[in-house]
Each structure stands twice: as C-alpha cells, then as structure tokens.
Amino acid sequence: MSYRNMDDLHIVELLDADPRLIYVVDRLVREQTGGPAVTYHNRALKNNKKLTSELYAAFQHESPVRTWIQELPKVSLPNDETFYFGGLHWAAVVVRSRWVYVYGSPSEERSVSNSHKETTVLPDGTVPDVPIFGHTRANGSDKMNYDGHVDLMTSLYESPDYGDVAGGGITDNAALTDALARSTLEMTQSTQRFQRYQRILEMVDVGIFEFHPNGQLLSANDAWYAQSSHPPAERTENEYSFMDYVHEEDKDMAFSQWVQLSKGEAVTFEMRWKKKNSEWFSVGSDERTETWVLAACVPVVDDNGALVSVSGCTTNITAQKENAIEAMQRAEAVERARASEQKLSRFAEMAPVALFILDVDQKVQFCNDKWFTMLGMARTDPKDTDWRGAIWHEDMPIIQQVWDRLIIHQESVDFQFRLTRTWRHPSDGMESQAWVLASVYPTLDDHGLVCAVQGTQIDISELKWAEKVQRLRVEEALEAKRQQENFIDMTSHEMRNPLSVVVQCADSVVTMLTQTTAILDRTQDRLEPSFHDELLECLDNALDAVQTIISCSAHQKRIVDDILVLSKLDAKLLMITPVRVRALSVLEDAKRMFMSEAERVGIHLALEADTSLNSLGVEWVMLDPSRVLQVLINLVANAIKFTQFSSTKDIVLTMSASRTRPSDSDQAFQFIPSRLMLDSDDSISPEYGNGEPIYLSFAVRDTGCGMTCEGKEKIFQRFSQASPRTHVQYGGSGLGLFISRELVELQGGEIGFASEADTGSTFAFFIKCRMCAAPATNHVESAFAVDGTTNDANKDEKPEQVTVLIVEDNLVNQKVLSKQLRRLGWEVHVAGHGGEALDFIKTTRYWNGSESLGRELTVILMDIEMPVMDGLTCARKIRDLEKRGDLRAHIPIVAVSANARSEQMKESQLAGMDEAIAKPFRIPDLIPKVERLSGLKRANGVNIRT
Amino acid sequence: MATTHSAASVKSVYSTGTDGSIVQSEDGSAGALDLGADIDAATFEQILEMDDDEEEREFSRSIVYDFFTQAEGTFQKMDSNLEKRDLEQLSALGHFLKGSSATLGLTKVKDSCEKIQHYGAHKDATGIEDELDDDICLKNCKETIEQAKKEFAEVEIALKRFYRDEGS
C-alpha cells in the first residue's frame, strides 16, 4: 500500500515516530489479567527494554499504574494528573472511554532543561480527537482533515534532527527537547482551536457524535441530541438505539450507510430524524414531522484496521430542505404557467386566424403576425398600427356600426368586410378586394364597462370568390334556360303562323280540286274517256297529297301549340277563368270535335253521364271549359291514336261528380299526386263564386293497346312517352299528357290512369269547381266556342309580304337572284343600274304623292359596281331625296359587293346603306338582314301602307 | 289568287332544305352531277335547284345560255378594247363577266376575269401591287383574256353536253 496522501498515514507510524515513550492501554478487562492491558508501545519505549518489561509486568496484576489507568474518567479530556513510573512522569488521555494513550517524559529531562519544564510538564495531547472533530462542514468533504497532526508532523519533519530521531535513539537531547516543546505548543493551540470550533459548532447547530461499532452511542453534543431527540448516551445502553429515532422512510438508507461505515468507508448523506417528542427536549411550537440533517460520518479504525468507532457530525438542514421544496414547488408552478402561456402564444402565432385585442380607443394592444399579413400591413409595433387604412373605404361604416354595438350594447358581433388589399385567384387571376370574416367581443372590467375588444379574423376571399362564381353560374344557367325557352317559344310562334297558312291553302286547294273534279264531271261528255279518266286520277292523287299535307301540318301545329301552352305554364301565365257552363256540355263538345275523326277510323265514341250528376243535382257549374276541354282533347286524341288499330274500337267518355275529393280507392286506377297543394276548399279562387264545392271527374276509356308497367311511370313527364317506339308508331310530342297534368292541377285536381296491355287504358281526372244557378236566359254557353288553343297575341299577324328591288347590271345574276328571292315568296323587281333604280323608286309609295297608288318596297339590294350609275352614287342620291322630302321615309338598302373587304363595307355605309352582304351570298344569310331592316322600318313607326 | 300565291311561297320557304320529301334533295342531284373540276358543283346546284322542272330545266338552261351569249359578247368587247388600249374598259369588262361566272360557279373563268379586272386597273394579278406600265398591263390583259376564252370554251362544252344530255 502506497501512501498517496496524509490520510493514509497510519497513527501507529506517527506514534512510532514520536520521540516520547508512548504506550496505549485497552481498558476493557482481559480475562487472563483481570484488568486492562497494554496493547501497544511505540518505538521510543521499545528502545528501553527494561522499562517495557516493567510496564507489561505492572499490568499483569493489580498494580498502582493499572489502577491509575482504570480510574481515569470515562470521557477523556487531557489529564493533568501525571503518574510516576519507571523514573518517568506519565500523562494519559482516554479516548472513547476505552483507550488510554499514555506518554512519558524522563524525569532527568525535566531537570536538564528547566526552561522547557512548563511545556513538558503540561503536555495536553489531543492527537486522537483531532481527526474526528477536524472534519469541516463547509466543504462537505467526507475526508478527514488531520489538522492537529499536520501541525505536529510539519514541526517534526521540519526538525533537522528528525532523521536521527526516526533513525533510532535520542542522539541530540537539546534538539529533541526543542522539537517536543514546539509540538506541545502546537498541540495546545490545536486544542484551543478545537474547543473554539466546538463552541462555534454548538452555536451553529452542528451535532457531533461518536458511536461504538456495535451501534451504541458513546458520546454526542447537545446539538446532536436536539436534532435526533436521542436520549443522552449515559442513559442508553442499547445497541443501534439511534435507529429508533431515524425517520421511518430513511431507516433502510441509514442502515446501509452504517454498513458502509462499518466497512471502513466514510459517508456523507442526508437523512431525517423523526418528529420530536422527546421527553428530554421540548420542541415547543415545532410542529414539523421531521428534521432533516446532513450527516458526515467517518469510521475510526485501529492499527489492525479494526473498526474502533464511528464518528461524525450532523447539520440541521430542515429549513434549507423546506425552502428547497417550497422553492422547487414554486419554480414548478412558474414553469407550468410559463409552459401554458408559451403553448397559447404558439397557438396564437401558428393559428391561421388573425387575433387581436383593441383598447377602447381602437388602439391595438395585442395582435399576432397573421393579423398583419391578413390586413396586408407590414409588421410594426402593434401600438403604432393604424389598421383603419387597411379597410376598404366603402366598408368603414360597417366597422363603425360594429364598434358602436360593441361599446354601447356590449354585444359580440360577427361581421364581414373588405380590405384595401386585393386578392387574386390563383388559377383564373381574377383580382378583387380581399374579404375578411371577423368575430369580436367586448371584455368588461370590474365596473361592467368595456375595457378591451378581442377579436379573431379569417380571410374569406376565396369563399367570397366561390360564392360570386357560383352566383354567376346560377344566373348564367337561368339565363341560358330562359333564352332556350324563349327560343323555343319564338320558334313555335314562327312555325305556327306559316302552318296556319299551309293548312289554309291546302284547304283551298282541296276546294279547288273538288271544284275541278265537279267541272270535269260536267264536261265528261266533251272529253275523250281516256283523257277524262287520266285527269280524274291526277285530281284524286292531288287530293290525297293535299290531305296528307293537311294532316301533317295539323299535327305539326298541335305540337307547336303544346309547346306554347307549356311555355305559358312555365311562365305561370296560364290563367284559369271559370265561367258558368252546363257541366255536360264540356263532354259533348269533346265528343263533337272528335266525331268525324273517330268515324273515319271506325271508332265508336260514346258518352256516359254518371248517376251521381243527377243525384247531386249537378247541372250548371263554374269552371274553365276551355281548360277542361283541352285536357279532354288530349285524352281523346290519345285514345283514338292508340285504339285505331285495335280489333275492338270503343271509346267511352264518362263524367261523374262527388262532394269529396276522389281518391285512388274510389277508382280502379291511380291518381298522380298533385304537385300543387290545393287541398282545402279555401284554395279555390273567388272567381268560382260561392256555390257548393263539387268535384267533377272525367274519364276516357278506350279499348286500345294499353300500356306496360314501365311506360306508366313516364307518361306524365315532359317530352316523355311510354316507349321510344310510341313516337314512331303514333307520333305525338310527348307533351300532351304533361300539359294535361299541369292543367288539371291548376284546377285543383289530379290526373291518373289505369291501363292493361292489349286491353285498353282509362285516363281520368277530376277538377274542383262550384255549382251555380242556371242562367236566366236560354243562352247556352258552349265550351266549344272557346277553342282548345290558347289566345295568342300573334295569332293575327301574317307573315309580312317582302318586296325587294334588285339593282344589278349582270343579267345572269339578275335572273338567278330574282328566282331565288321569288322562291322565298318575295315580290321581286329588277333594275339594271342606279339610274333605273331611282326611276323605280319614283313609282313606290315612298315617293311623295304616290302614297296610295305606289308600289310596295321593303328593301333594295344594291350592287356596287355597275355601269351608268354605280351603287354608291345611287345610295347617296336616295338619301338625298329622303332629306329633301321627295321620299317620305328611309328606304332600307343592302349593299351587295363582290368585295367583302371592310373598307368597301365602310364605303357603302358612308354612302348611306344600311347593311352589306358579300357576293356571292347564300339566301339564308340574306333573310335575317332583310327581316331586321323591315323590322326596323316598323319599329320606326313609319306606316307607309296608309 | 293572293291565297294561291301565298301558299306557294310558304311552301317554298318551308320545304327548301328542311323537308327532303317534297323537293328533290341536294344529295340526289349532287350524285347525278359531274361537270368537271372547272365548275363549282355546289354553286351550280343552287341554280339547278331553282328549276321548276327537272326534265326541262328551263330556268337554269336559260341562265346558262344567257351566260354564253354574255361571255361571247364580252370577249368581243375585250378584244376591241385591247386594240384601243383602253385598260379601264378592260377592267370593267373583267368585273362584269366575273360576276356572272361566279354566280354560275364557273370558278376558272371567274378567276381569270378577276385578273383582267386587276390588270386593267393598273394592278398585278392579286390586285394589291400597282403596275403603272400600260404596255405590261395590256400584255397581261391580253394573255389572261386568251386564257379566259380557253377556259370558257371548256365549260361551254361541258355545260352544252349537260343540257343536251338532259334534253335528250
């Protein structure tokens, strides 16, 4: 074992190095001697063999020196009583009650050096105690500080004669005496220092203790007793008695520390003593459950490494502990608060929502970054922010209103506003004012007054954009639908008029053909028979063809009529106008209308008046006969269509009445539920008068082909037929039943049907009406008087006769164009050049003075390049005539140019022409231009037809 | 009488191109027609459609023969104006014949006539660039008139064959 530091120096070495004669006595009684025994003697004593043997002999039995040792006090302080033995004066120090450290001074030595007598006479050796109490609390070291020893050692080593002393034998008595005197002085000082320390330690509440290795308390100071509540050592004989006073939770730890100590290791640890309730120490108001101490303990071992005792000091650290715990708790609380605030502030920064707090002066108290970016402002100190500039000026009033509500009414408000900043849609690049949705709410102070306004904002620009786009789309869709309907409506009107004419003309052709046939008959004898027959056949064929034209046109006209009714239904323009009518007349009218058609295809058409009419006394009713008839016409027409090819050809029209609303169960068929909720009697319009409400039911039963199940569901839909094949076989628009349904529902009723394939169908409907008294006169209002079709504003408007003047030099072109236009039904006049055109104009009604006798003229088609007078010149002249008043009104002129180049178009416009068309043109391109111009003429209010 | 007229007019409006069953369909005549590449079939068919009688083709025949007369007369006038070096007249004549040949769909003749119109107006063939030299203009006119005559002769043969064939 190498001695790395002073701590490793063994006390035995020190004693051997001591020039004094020293021995140690173990006061524990030995069996063989019956008293204490010398357990050690140092080298200096060993040198005196005689004295050593005398000493050992003295301890073999009861002897004065042994008795002296035995009677030394238990707790030792340096004893000033010396004992004379073997020619030497011996002083003794008792250590830990058991060990007695005895050192001797030769008596002649005293006499030799008198000057040193005092110091040598009073050698208060304290060596063994120093290591125990020299332990310092301040640095917490668990190492021993051999303060006393160091001093002693230093003095010994510093002695130049030390080597000789250690070497063996006292060679220089003077030097030795000097060294001894010095070390004695050092020792005295150390002792004093130690006692001073001890007093200080007592004052600072440092407990000092010494335990026997068996766990018995050997000694302790008051501070220790105060801390531990342990009874005084004198009163406790129990081993490990201190364990009873250790806090329950620390017992295991404390014991393990003890084990460490008993292994010879120094330990420092913190532990708790139990709550103080000792009979020895009054704790007063101290209510603490425990006392915290810092214990620093060292084992004390003998020469052989055996544990002699355990010593140490304890410092009361309860206050620190409690402070520490309290401080820790406070720190934890602060940390928690900080963490939660940090969390919130992170939320505030990370949220895609702008957050802000304004004070009552509208100054920003707090806001997050998002708030700045949302408002499109650079990040600045919130207090200096003027956010009003970020708000779209038109929306500032909104802000003011909101503020008033917040401050005055103390309400929270959700509102939207625009910003000065614009927002650009990422894909379509459309730029618009950015939109913000804000929620604000007031914060009230203790007096219930608003002290701040908190708010959140989100950017809803995209939402607004989407909303706008959607609204636009809806508007567009509605507009498109409206236009489409308009288109259909218009087209229908346009088709209807010519169709009327077609039917009209075809009718007159039939008449003429019939007349021709009659003439042929009269002149039969004047013609060759073969020629006559040939003619007759031609006429027959012609008649057939015309009949086909009539039926085709009639069919087309019906479709057009249906569409028109439908568009009126859609536009809610169709009015129900109830008039007084004999109930059965409607049915009779329907029959009359179809009588001839039915006869032609061999169908037997019958009428049935149900007994309910009589029993309920239904004769005169208020209803709109034309609307009822319209439905009946549809149903009967359908019935005829689907029955004409059946083997049995019967159609029965029935009529019945009931006071209650007919339902499915009353009938053998199903009504399609009305989409209009007209159930209550109140819903019937006041125009019906105030007679008894009654439901009139009509049914059309046929023996036709019937319908399959799939077909049934669709037939009342718009443009829908039972099957795609239906149209091929029977024609029809698919609108009839849809219109019928609409009309029936408008009259507060429902329509329905029952059908069985190959057996026939029954279509039935009921309407709501009121009974009324018979008219005073005998006049019978016939439903037939009201035509099934609706009143049409354009009904009387015939297609306008177009008269056109072609000004064209080229004969070939003249002829072709004339032919084409005549084929349109237009009246065509031709002029070879501008001069001729002017001559012609003088013959028209435009010319002043020819109002009544002059010719019609709708439009002039003017070629540009012509000999004699070109088109441009002619046009200018015409406009001049108009200005001069020779012409009564503006004559529309269309420039016809081989060059469609824009400058030429412009030139013609400058010359006073209204339109231009490039040559060669197609007639369909010309028609709308002419129509527009003739329309303008009308719109200008120029009535040149007088 | 007014009614009859009206009926006829209505018939023609609403039967042309919409209802193929009443008048002869365009497809039908297009298939039967083969007048060669010099004549624009679609344009000429429009003329043919105007014939009230497909056997006689009185109308279109008269138009076509009118055109023959017109063209021959115009070429004569062109020749005399070439001698007179009257470029302005040449241009007007070119324009005149251009109009009727365009109406009949006689594309080649029409194109040549347009050139004559341009050359006579001191322009190049396209009518864009100026050509101020009278001699060059006259030379261009002369060449193109010869060209036009040749082209006319070709369509004349084709058309005469068409009508002769139709007639027989």
Among A493, A471, A494, A474, which residue's Cα sits nearest to residue A482?
A: A474
- What is the distance in angstroms between the Cα of B68 and the nearest Cα belonging to chain A? 10
State pLDDT tens for residues A243-274.
888 888 888 888 888 888 888 888 888 888 88
Confidence of residue A138 (pLDDT cuts 50, 70, 90): very low
Confidence of residue A415 (pLDDT cuts 50, 70, 90): very high
Contact present, A769 and A610 (Cβ < 8 Å): no
Residue A3: what pLDDT? Answer: 46
Residue A77: what pLDDT? Answer: 56
Q: What is the DSSP letter of A830?
A: E
Identify which has the larger pLDDT, A318 or B78: B78
Residue A474: what pLDDT? Answer: 92
pLDDT at A149 over 80: no
Note whether B24 contacts A: Cβ–Cβ < 8 A. Answer: no
Q: Poorest-confidence range of A136-140, A462-466, B155-159? A: A136-140
Domain ranges of chain B: 32-162
Query: Which residues are paired to A655 by β-bridges?
Result: A609, A698
Residue A115: what pLDDT? Answer: 35
- What is the distance in angstroms between the Cα of B161 and the nearest Cα belonging to chain A? 20
For residues A595-603, give the mean pLDDT. 80
Residues 6+ positions from A709 with CB-CB distance below 8 Å: none
A267-274 and A88-95 beta bridge pairing? unpaired
Query: Which residues are paired to A40 by β-bridges?
Result: A24
- For A16, phi then psi, to 5°, come to -65, -30
Question: Which residue in B has a C-alpha nearest to residue A824's C-alpha?
Answer: B13
Which pTM does this prediction carry? Answer: 0.33
B104 and A812 in contact by Cβ < 8 A? yes
Confidence of residue A573 (pLDDT cuts 50, 70, 90): low
Lateral strand order in the sheet of A99-106: A35-41, A21-30, A99-106, A88-95, A83-85
- Reported as half-sphere exposure (CB side, CA atoms, 13 A), residue A149 has a value of 23
Tokens of A304: 């052989």
Contact present, A430 and A465 (Cβ < 8 Å): yes
Confidence of residue B79 (pLDDT cuts 50, 70, 90): very high
Q: Which of B3, B9, B98 sits opposite A824 (nearest CB)?
A: B9
What's the CA gap between B88 and B134, in Å, rounded?
11
Residue A164: what pLDDT? Answer: 42
For residues A94-119, give the mean pLDDT. 58
Count Cβ atoms below 10 Å from residue B66 Cβ, excluding itself: 18
Residue with tokens 């018995």: A216
Contact present, A819 and A813 (Cβ < 8 Å): no
Residues 6+ positions from A485 with CB-CB distance below 8 Å: A567, A570
Residue A555: what pLDDT? Answer: 73
Tokens of A566: 């439908």
* B5: three-class secondary structure by DSSP: helix
Amino acid, res. A166: A
B96 and A809 in contact by Cβ < 8 A? yes
* A358: three-class secondary structure by DSSP: strand
pLDDT at A699 over 60: yes
B103 and A505 in contact by Cβ < 8 A? no
- Chain B residues in contact with A815 by the CB 8 A cut-off are 59, 62-63, 66
Note whether A516 contacts B: Cβ–Cβ < 8 A. Answer: no
State pLDDT tens for residues A790-844.
333 333 334 467 888 999 888 888 888 888 888 877 888 888 888 888 888 888 8
A502 and B66 in contact by Cβ < 8 A? no
pLDDT at A748 over 80: yes
B6 and A809 in contact by Cβ < 8 A? no
Residue A585's alpha-carbon distances to A464, A625, A629, A637, in angstroms, are 61, 9, 10, 18
Tokens of A93: 């120090």
A679 CB-contact burial (10 Å; exposed 0-12 / middle 13-18 / buried 19+): exposed
State pLDDT tens for residues B11-69.
333 333 333 333 333 343 434 456 677 788 888 888 888 887 777 788 888 888 889 98
Confidence of residue A708 (pLDDT cuts 50, 70, 90): low
pLDDT at A111 over 70: no
- Chain B residues in contact with A858 by the CB 8 A cut-off are none
Count Cβ atoms below 10 Å from residue B131 Cβ, excluding itself: 15
B103 and A865 in contact by Cβ < 8 A? no
Number of cross-chain residue pairs from A and B with Cβ atoms under 8 Å apart: 87
- What is the distance in angstroms between the Cα of A556 and the nearest Cα belonging to chain B? 13
Among A471, A403, A486, which residue's Cα sits nearest to residue A442?
A: A403
- Chain A residues in contact with B92 by the CB 8 A cut-off are 865, 867
Note whether A797 contacts B: Cβ–Cβ < 8 A. Answer: no
Q: Which of B3, B9, B46 sits opposite A825 (nearest CB)?
A: B9
Residue B145: what pLDDT? Answer: 92
What's the CA gap between B23 and A884, in Å, rounded?
48
CA dihedral A444, A450, A451, A457 (to 10 degrees): 90
pLDDT at A561 over 70: yes
Rama region for A849: left / alpha / beta (φ>0; ψ in -120 to 50; rest): left
Among B117, B94, B98, which residue's Cα sits nearest to residue B106?
A: B98
Confidence of residue A889 (pLDDT cuts 50, 70, 90): confident
State pLDDT tens for residues A174-201.
777 777 888 888 888 888 887 877 777 6
Mutate to test the interface with A, among B100, B109, B155, B159 (most CBs of A within 10 A): B100
Residue A416: what pLDDT? Answer: 92
Residue A440: what pLDDT? Answer: 92
Residue A223: what pLDDT? Answer: 80
- Chain A residues in contact with B16 by the CB 8 A cut-off are 823
Residue A665: what pLDDT? Answer: 60
B70 and A815 in contact by Cβ < 8 A? no
Confidence of residue A525 (pLDDT cuts 50, 70, 90): confident
Among A273, A271, A263, A275, which residue's Cα sits nearest to residue A295?
A: A271
CA dihedral A177, A181, A184, A190 (to 10 degrees): -140
Residues in chain B: 168
- Chain B residues in contact with A898 by the CB 8 A cut-off are 95, 98-99, 102
Note whether B42 contacts A: Cβ–Cβ < 8 A. Answer: no
pLDDT at A283 over 50: no
- What is the distance in angstroms between the Cα of A512 and the nearest Cα belonging to chain B? 11
For residues A625-642, give the mean pLDDT. 84
Q: Which of B5, B12, B70 sits opposite A824 (nearest CB)?
A: B12
pLDDT at A134 over 50: no
What's the CA gap between A425 and A455, in Å, rounded?
26
Residue with tokens 């939207």: A416
pLDDT at A663 over 80: no
What's the CA gap between A243 and A11, in Å, rounded?
31
Alpha-carbon dihedral sign for residues A815, A817, A818, A820: positive
Most confident of A159-168, A186-195, A469-478, B34-43: A469-478
CA A245 to chain centre: 65
Amino acid, res. A552: C
Tokens of A649: 């050809």
Residue A571: what pLDDT? Answer: 65
In this prediction, the answer to ipTM > 0.90 reads no
- Which pairs from A930-936 meet CB under 8 Å and 24+ separation? A930/A802, A930/A804, A930/A858, A930/A859, A930/A892, A930/A894, A933/A858, A933/A859, A933/A892, A933/A894, A934/A800, A934/A802, A934/A858, A934/A859, A934/A892, A936/A892
Helix runs in A576-723, H state only: 583-600, 611-615, 625-643, 709-714
Residues 6+ positions from A818 with CB-CB distance below 8 Å: A806, A828, A830
Residue A395's alpha-carbon distances to A405, A406, A469, A535, in angstroms, are 16, 17, 22, 88
Query: Which residues are paired to A90 by β-bridges?
Result: A83, A104
Confidence of residue A721 (pLDDT cuts 50, 70, 90): low
Write down the mean pLDDT value for chain A. 76
Count Cβ atoms below 10 Å from residue A902 Cβ, excluding itself: 9
- Indicate the angle between helix axes B87-104 and B58-84, nearest 10 degrees: 160
What's the CA gap between B151 and A224, in Å, rounded?
143
- Chain B residues in contact with A863 by the CB 8 A cut-off are 99
* A424: three-class secondary structure by DSSP: strand
Identify which has the larger pLDDT, A117 or A229: A229
- Chain B residues in contact with A919 by the CB 8 A cut-off are 99, 102
For residues B107-115, give the mean pLDDT. 90
Which CATH architecture does the domain made up of B32-162 adopt? Up-down Bundle (1.20)
State pLDDT tens for residues A416-455.
999 988 888 887 777 888 999 999 999 888 888 888 899 9
Residue A170: what pLDDT? Answer: 45
What's the CA gap between A836 and A16, in Å, rounded?
165
Percent of all residues in chain A with a pLDDT value above 70, rounded to a whole number:
79
